Amino acid sequence: MKPLIKIIALFSFIVLAPAVSADEAKIRKLLLQHMPSLKVDSIKVSEAPGLYEINIGGKILYSSADGRYLIQGHMIDVVSRKDLTEEKLATSRIKAIKDLGNDQSIIFKDENSKHQVTIFTDIDCGYCRKLHAEMDQYLAEGISIQYLFYPRAGKGSGSYDKAVTVWCSENRNEALTLAKQGKNLDSINCENPIDRHVNLGIQFEARGTPMIVTEKGKIYPGYVPAKKLAQALQADN
């Protein structure tokens, strides 16, 4: 490479390379020093002057410019009346579900589907069973349902073991329906994504089941009837 071309290439790299602010570096260094277990995905200037937005495993915190003080909560723009934090969390949820992949979930789909929601479910949860019993109503409203397991009693519980059995069944959709009807299935074990489902639910701060996550990343905690959910999804478009 000729000297002049080298200089131009170096200049281009300097101009185009993403700048890391002194404050960002200071925050990262302090977090690494005092909270080494935190996996910081990104640090950037927030909408509020003097505060930095920190993304940690899909969760958002805010930091003072020196990195000493962390703030946990939602940032609201009172002028536009927007929850700025929720908008970013929604984006993170969409990405996390997409990264998981459809082959790591159980999907009930209609060929005329207009929407697909992701539902964290517990086989032994009463309202989860009610929702599943009304599957035909959701499909009729053009709503496909992607199930992820969230056994609230935790790993090793009966609900957890049932989720594993359903996943390891030859026909997962049929097995899930039978399990939600209270039918006893012969226990089966195999490699499964149940722990990934649970970790994702924790990341999304699931406090119960069913928990519905829309295509836009919005969360509806609890059971929502088919027609009401269809109206909400239509309004979000």
Tell me, what CATH number does 146's domain have?
A: 3.40.30.10
Has residue 123 got a pLDDT over 60? yes
Tell me, what CATH number does 87's domain have?
A: 3.10.450.70
Has residue 51 got a pLDDT over 60? yes
CA distances from 92 to 52, 95, 97, 117, 185 (A): 18, 5, 9, 15, 36
Kindly indicate the confidence band of residue 21, based on its pLDDT and cuts at 50, 70 and 90: low
Computed over every residue of the chain, the mean pLDDT equals 90
Q: List, in order, residues 6 or more apart from 158 with CB less than 8 Å away.
A: 124
**Domain-ending residue, one of 50, 80, 96:** 96
Angle value at C-alpha 130, between 115 and 174, nearest 5 degrees: 75
Q: How many domains does the chain have?
A: 2
Cα distance between residue 54 and residue 95, in whole Å: 17
pLDDT in tens, 160-199: 999 999 999 999 999 999 999 999 999 999 999 999 999 9
Same domain, 63 and 170: no
Provide the pLDDT for residue 3. Answer: 47
Is residue 147 assigned to a domain?
yes
In this prediction the pTM is 0.83
Q: List, in order, residues 6 or more apart from 15 with CB less than 8 Å away.
A: none
Task: Specify whether the CB–CB gap between 83 and 109 falls below 8 A.
Answer: no
How many percent of the chain have pLDDT more than 90?
Answer: 78
**Domain-ending residue, one of 42, 65, 96:** 96
Is residue 5 assigned to a domain?
no
Segment 125-141 mean pLDDT: 97
Segment 221-234 mean pLDDT: 96
Is residue 10 assigned to a domain?
no
How many percent of the chain have pLDDT more than 70?
Answer: 91
Provide the pLDDT for residue 134. Answer: 98
Provide the pLDDT for residue 237. Answer: 75
Has residue 20 got a pLDDT over 90? no
Cα distance between residue 128 and residue 119, in whole Å: 9
Kindly indicate the confidence band of residue 103, based on its pLDDT and cuts at 50, 70 and 90: very high
Has residue 17 got a pLDDT over 50? no
Cα distance between residue 67 and residue 52, in whole Å: 9
Provide the pLDDT for residue 7. Answer: 36
**Domain-ending residue, one of 96, 115, 139:** 96
Boundaries of domain holding 75: 17-96
Segment 138-164 mean pLDDT: 96
Is residue 1 assigned to a domain?
no
Question: DSSP secondary structure string, 176-211?
Answer: HHHHHTT-----------HHHHHHHHHHTT--SS-E
Is residue 64 assigned to a domain?
yes
Kindly indicate the confidence band of residue 205, based on its pLDDT and cuts at 50, 70 and 90: very high
Helix (H), strand (E) at residue 69: none
Has residue 38 got a pLDDT over 50? yes
Is residue 41 assigned to a domain?
yes
pLDDT in tens, 56-100: 888 999 999 999 999 999 999 999 999 999 999 999 999 999 999
